[in-house]
Amino acid sequence: MTAPTLNYVSCLDPGASHRMAYWQWGDAAAEHVIVCVHGLSRQGRDFDTLAEGLLARSQAPLRIVCPDVAGRGRSEWLADPMGYGIPTYAADMLQMLGQLHAQAPVRTLDWVGTSMGGLIGMAVAGTPKLPLPVPVRRLVLNDVGPVLQWSALQRIGTYLGNTGRFESVQQAADAMWQISTGFGPHTPEQWLALSQAMVKPLPAGGFTLHYDPAIAVPFRTLDEQAAASGQAALWQLYDAITAETLLLRGAQSDLLTRATASEMAQRGPKARLVEFEGVGHAPTLIPAPQVEAVASFLLPDTASHEKPFRGAG
């Protein structure tokens, strides 16, 4: 596997500043940029398999950028935990895109967002007059939409912020699997590889999860009424999206219902819906059929000239 390069961008937040890390694959001068943004407690290396698959298929240079959202992975933690939210994250993405555009012009911009990363993508693609290098051309929303089921948010709240201590990466991987079975079937090797970047060593020995436990602070202020009232704003963002949109859904997802997915296919950008059986929240974009769904949407011209790629199936 060709390793990505680690880069940083300086971002502002209320009363302070922070550095956001991002992993870059492919050609650093490519005009076609694909931004891949992870879920709530994940990090940018979740997209290693997808990035490799896209690069293997593309007939033209690609720049694939996978940020560690603030408070996760190699990014700095925020001084004020209440800054952990979509407005901060979207502003950070604009800063990153500005830096990328200054380094080499961005002519085509696509977005892949899993769960929280999809909400950030909706904010970026659905808010008019943002200072983007170019509008988002194609948008992949991975198991997320304007309506988030309260029961699923409650489930996530039972473990968010509990970063723990583990004697080994394998022990951490085993613990994460207990709360991540919705990701669907993975081999032990796939899951261990996916878990490597999710932990960091502790000074006194052992490991802990990579993220700031304080990302749970604003999450825990959310109640069912607030979650429901936010739906109108999210639908407004979704309906304003002009990018061609692909909606991926785990067929057993508890966060994105089939009814919401169907409505998303009928309004706004009228997303093309693809579902994966045996998967809940959220598809990891590691199994070959999931990689293929994204690649054929973002790179449709490669269908008849596909380069060999042996995805993890």
Which is the CATH superfamily of the domain at 5-149+231-305? Answer: Alpha/Beta hydrolase fold, catalytic domain (3.40.50.1820)
Mean pLDDT to the nearest integer, 25-44: 98
Residue 13: per-residue pLDDT: 80
Exposure class string for 260-289: b at 16+ Cβ within 10 A, else e:
bbebbeeebbebebbbbeebbbbbbbbbee
Helix 188-195 to helix 169-178 angle, to the nearest 10 degrees?
110
Say if residues 116 and 92 touch (Cβ distance below 8 Å): no
**Would the pTM of this model clear 0.85, i.e. be above it?**
yes
- Residue 85, classified by CB atoms within 10 Å of its CB into exposed (0-12), middle (13-18) or buried (19+), is middle
Domain coordinates of the chain in residue numbers? 5-149+231-305
Q: Identify the H or E element spanning 209.
A: strand 207-209
- When pLDDT is cut at 50, 70 and 90, the band that residue 307 belongs to is very low
Residue 101: per-residue pLDDT: 98
Residue 303: per-residue pLDDT: 47
